[in-house]
Each structure stands twice: as C-alpha cells, then as structure tokens.
Amino acid sequence: MSGRPQLVALPGYADRRDDVQFCGHCGRAAAIDIAAPASRVCGRCEMGLLIGAPSELAPAPSDPFLLVDSTLSVCGLSALAEELLGVVETKAVNRHINELLVPADAEASGPGDLVNLLVHAARGDGEVHDVVLRPTDEYGIRYWARIGPCGPPRAALMVLGDGSTIRKPSL
C-alpha cells in the first residue's frame, strides 16, 4: 500500500437506511401515512422538517432537542426545547449555541470540548456522546444531553434529557 493520501468516500445521510426519522419540531416519528412526507414537512404538526438520526440518538416525543450546524449556529429547536429554554425557534435560529447552552462544569471541561463534539457530529462523526450542560448565564440548572450526527443536511443533534437515559458524560 502506498503512503500517498487517499480520498475515502464517507456515507452521507441519504445513504443511512437504519436512521430513525423524526420531526424537527414536534419530535414525533415520521408517519408515511400522513400527507406530504415527500416534501420533508411533518404531516402531523406541519411546522418541522423530517430529520434522520441513529436510533440511540433520536429523540422520544417527550425529549427537547436542538439542531446545530458545523458553524455552531442553531438551525432548529423543537417545541419542547422552546419551552425549556424560554426562546422561540424564530429567535434562536442563526444564534451561536453558546448563547443558549454551555458546559455545566466549566473547570473540568472548557467550552472548546462541547464545540469539538458539535463540530465532529455536524461533520458526520457517527458516535453519540453524553454531556452535561447548563443554560448560558444561569447556574444551578443542569441538562443532560446526548450529541450525535443527524441529517440531511448534516448537522449535530443535541437531545436534552433528565439524565435517566444518559451514560457517563464525556465532559
């Protein structure tokens, strides 16, 4: 084998058949029997696009979640995340994720670690990581979150939970 660098084709999100499809707004699983699935618009709530994510990452309908792109801008917010974070999606979109959430333990792990996780996930890194976060400028509140890739288009999915389904945090 030569030592020359090689280009390796990575699977895109369109190729991942085992992903779970869910609505980016209501979080419910895609329903092919409901109108307009071809447009990627959720046929149930009509307010979100259908997104795919690995089954161990995909949110349950009761999980708040955020979608973040590789520039770390918020691209979407579920209805439950709007309630949890007290911000409507239209105001949150295009804001940097650090304006909403930061790592809960800033001494043990800097914001750079969260940034790395999100960037890798947004680039299609298949692993799911668990982290502990807090709202920016607020102390005493913690959210357990799992972060991994989703799409199309490629992005990072950050599912917030109560910690019961979270493994040992990475941060």
Q: List contacts with another protein (CB under 8 A).
A: 24-25, 35-36, 38-41, 46-49, 51, 67, 69, 75-77, 89-90, 92-94, 151, 153, 155
When the beta carbons of 41 and 160 are compared against another protein, the nearer one is 41
For the bound state, the minimum distance from the C-beta of residue 149 to another protein, rounded and expressed in Å, comes to 12
When the beta carbons of 62 and 90 are compared against another protein, the nearer one is 90
When the beta carbons of 32 and 35 are compared against another protein, the nearer one is 35
Q: 22 and 30 in contact (C-beta within 8 Å)? A: yes
Distance of alpha carbon 43 from alpha carbon 62, whole angstroms? 18
Q: What are phi and psi for residue 135, nearest 5 degrees?
A: -65, 145
When the beta carbons of 89 and 103 are compared against another protein, the nearer one is 89
Angle at 26 between CA 156 and CA 149, to 5 degrees: 15
For the bound state, the minimum distance from the C-beta of residue 40 to another protein, rounded and expressed in Å, comes to 7
For the bound state, the minimum distance from the C-beta of residue 147 to another protein, rounded and expressed in Å, comes to 15
For the bound state, the minimum distance from the C-beta of residue 10 to another protein, rounded and expressed in Å, comes to 19
Write the single-letter amino acid at 146.
R
Question: Distance between the two ends of the chain, CA-based, in angstroms?
Answer: 38
When the beta carbons of 90 and 164 are compared against another protein, the nearer one is 90
For the bound state, the minimum distance from the C-beta of residue 90 to another protein, rounded and expressed in Å, comes to 5
Closest CA to 152 of 66, 10, 45, 40: 40
Closest CA to 45 of 81, 84, 79, 11: 79
Rg (CA), the chain: 16
